[in-house]
Amino acid sequence: MAGPGYLERDARESLGRLPALIQPLLTWLTGKPLRHQQPLFRMTRAGFLASTLLQLASSIAVSALITGGPWWYWPGLLLSWMLTAGAARKLQVTVLHHCVHANFSGSGRLDRWIVEVFSSALLVMNFESYRHDHVIIHHSRKLATLDDPDLKFLLALGFLPGVSREALWRRLAWTLVSPRFHAMFLMARLESNVTRAAPYRRLMALGLHAVIVVIVAAKGAWLTWLVAWVFPLTFLYHIAALLQFICEHRWLRVADPGQPAKIVLARLTAGRFMGEPAPPPGLAGVQRAWAWGGWAARMLLVHLPFRLLVMVGDLPQHDWHHRHIQARDWPNAAYARQRDVEAGHPGWPEPYSEVWGLLPAVDAVFVLLSSLPSLAQPSKPAPPADAADVVSDA
């Protein structure tokens, strides 16, 4: 598919010229396998949860060690913070997300309690709110419309149709560092766990965090707690959620008259892959070194951080999820999507589309919004009580 951020040629296949040894790593980083590529191993749902919790615990431990070490250790926090926030996001947008779809353990009751326990720990949306907004409303004909609670939150933040692309980028840059945005996000998270939750759920959240505060106070570990837990799970979490959410769908895309529902749905979501094509073959000397050096630098310093922090779990294949909501192979979503592509996307008349790079994905949405007419009466609704996780829904 052509358009802003969309590549005419297959970016992933261009990376097939690189050594076979690093192809599994490139598949994880980009979120897309080579044609006919097979995984080294199949990740199970339990294994996905275990590896996510291990990432969360180990990155917190590393941040705590860095905080207690000499000052020259502190630059290492950049990586440990990304891993902490990314693990929390992965727990929310992949594990808890599939639990609200009753698509994790096979037991709806167990899935519900997995959501309640981990959402209490992360102070994110409780099961009932999450299921109502995401499963009942978001996964319906209201997807990406003015009735979609996700879009309502975007409008509340000022990402309005009819606004210029440049103005939308300025809005995003300010929102990411805006104290008002972070305060609104945090307050929504607290309200979802305290004032708008069932009594048992309030007890879970308040009791767990009361215990944590007591332990921190007894140990005098306030700095460690703030650095290793509070900062990445608030400021970085909010930034990652907003960057992902903005490009999650082609918001307010207008369907053609009489367009079949499956075509409408397929065109609302694209694969979002972190990476870029390899330099063209045939380069030599300084030109070759410069091209490959620049490519490697961007993969490591731009696309890798975005993969670790923003486009976590199965978010690159979110279009596959909307086509196959109850598919059980979501821990291996990259390969499942690729199989569907190679099989000719059976049952779906519309082929998959994709965009490479987080910033091009955001830009494509801004181009779409700027091309639409302004709302007749632009409204700025207050964010819903669960706005904190409206932006982290996948």
286-302 per-position pLDDT tens digit: 999 999 999 999 999 99
Ramachandran class of 3: left when φ > 0, alpha when ψ lies in -120 to 50, beta otherwise: left
211: in domain: yes
What are 350-378's pLDDT values in tens digits? Answer: 999 999 999 999 999 999 999 999 986 54
Domain assignment present for 136: yes
Which percentage of the chain shows pLDDT scores above 70? Answer: 93
| DSSP strands (E only) in the chain | 271-273, 354-356
Q: What is the pLDDT of residue 299?
A: 97
Average pLDDT on 235-258 reads 91
Band of residue 317 on the pLDDT scale cut at 50, 70, 90: very high
pLDDT the model gives residue 258: 81
Better pLDDT: 385 or 172 = 172
Q: What is the DSSP string of 249-264?
A: S-TTPPPPTT--HHHH
Task: Residue 343: name the closest of 25, 24, 35, 42 by CA.
Answer: 35
pTM above 0.85, yes or no: yes
**Beta partners for 355?**
272
pLDDT at 384 (0 to 100): 40
The residue that leads in pLDDT, 8 or 315, is 315
- Phi and psi angles of residue 272, each rounded to the nearest 5 degrees, phi first: -120, 105
14 domain residue, yes or no = no
pLDDT of residue 377: 52
Domain assignment of residue 285, yes or no: yes
Q: Look-up: residue for tokens 């904190």?
A: 388
Contact 329, 240 (CB under 8 A): no
Whether pLDDT at 195 is above 70? yes
Residue 141 within a domain: yes
Asked if 7 and 356 touch (Cβ cutoff 8 Å), the reply is yes
Q: Is residue 206 a part of any domain in this protein?
A: yes
Give the model's pLDDT for residue 138.
82
pLDDT at 10: 85
Sign of CA dihedral 47, 49, 50, 56: positive
- Mean pLDDT throughout 252-279? 90
pLDDT at 139: 80
Q: Which domain holds residue 333?
A: 22-390
> Is 12 part of any domain?
no
Q: Which of 355, 335, 336 is nearest to 276 (CA)?
A: 355
What average pLDDT score do residues 193-204 get? 92
In-domain check, residue 7? no
Residue 325, pLDDT > 70, answer yes
**Predicted local confidence at residue 7, as pLDDT:** 46
Tally the domains of the chain.
Answer: 1
